[in-house]
Structure 1
């Protein structure tokens, strides 16, 4: 697959991810159990995401990370052309659609800068390259976060989303580790 362009890869990998999600409905819970908390850098605030389509559901992992005492946040698209913002997530508070219609904490929720970000993806490789949906929101957001503080980015995926090598562009932000239902992969 490494010779295909990103647009073609996205079409193929969305199909792969849908199949993986259907075949492994318990994958998110297995991934959450597999995370070696002692191998993560110290963090006070983390961000998950609201899964869309066949993205692996991060909520079991988010519940586990909340048990460490860290504050939870979710990304929010305040405008379609801007990097994502992060707001504190309260599981008892109703979410509201953001600029893309994805459920997010309401405008009154406190804004935060997470030092651990769980990132959804279509594919990953062992170099830490991530293929996202294609709009560049996570790349812009991670670049902005990394410009002001240390941020550990954990890709969450089905093991079958791994590819040998993804095409990389200068603006692509790398993952620091990948968590799947079968493995925790640290990127060197």
Structure 2
């Protein structure tokens, strides 16, 4: 499917689906009674992940000995790990707790953008971290001169730009505005 204009979708046969102003998210079919219980582990894991990632950011900020390229790369990875679940988990918890199954077209596109772009940013940062360790092991005398803070910032911006540019491609759309949970597609 490809976009044919604002809020207009075309499938492979050329059928036009106009104005999908909202999408319906079904949650986990068959387990509607357990949605509150299912949400508890997700919420707990998210809180622990947010606290852990903010602890890393705080420690790097406060400890001068951690103001080195590898720590900055770790901070970039931490921010990526904060953005990915935070872009989708609030809506998921909204579905589980309040049975709010509708999502606006623009909110759905925003979630799609953040998931796809930051999923593309993360490998770039991991490659930069691997490069940092490679240079530190293979050429330790030049490590400090090669991987300066400015170089790390450029690598981080390149990874972010790569993630943003991957989103310029056309986005796939569904034939309908009802989005099933991925487990229901396995049955």
**TM, length-normalised to structure 2:** 0.20
- Whose helix proportion is higher, 1 or 2? 2
| Greater relative contact order, per chain length (Cα 8 Å cut-off, separation 6+) | 2
Q: Which has the larger radius of gyration?
A: 2
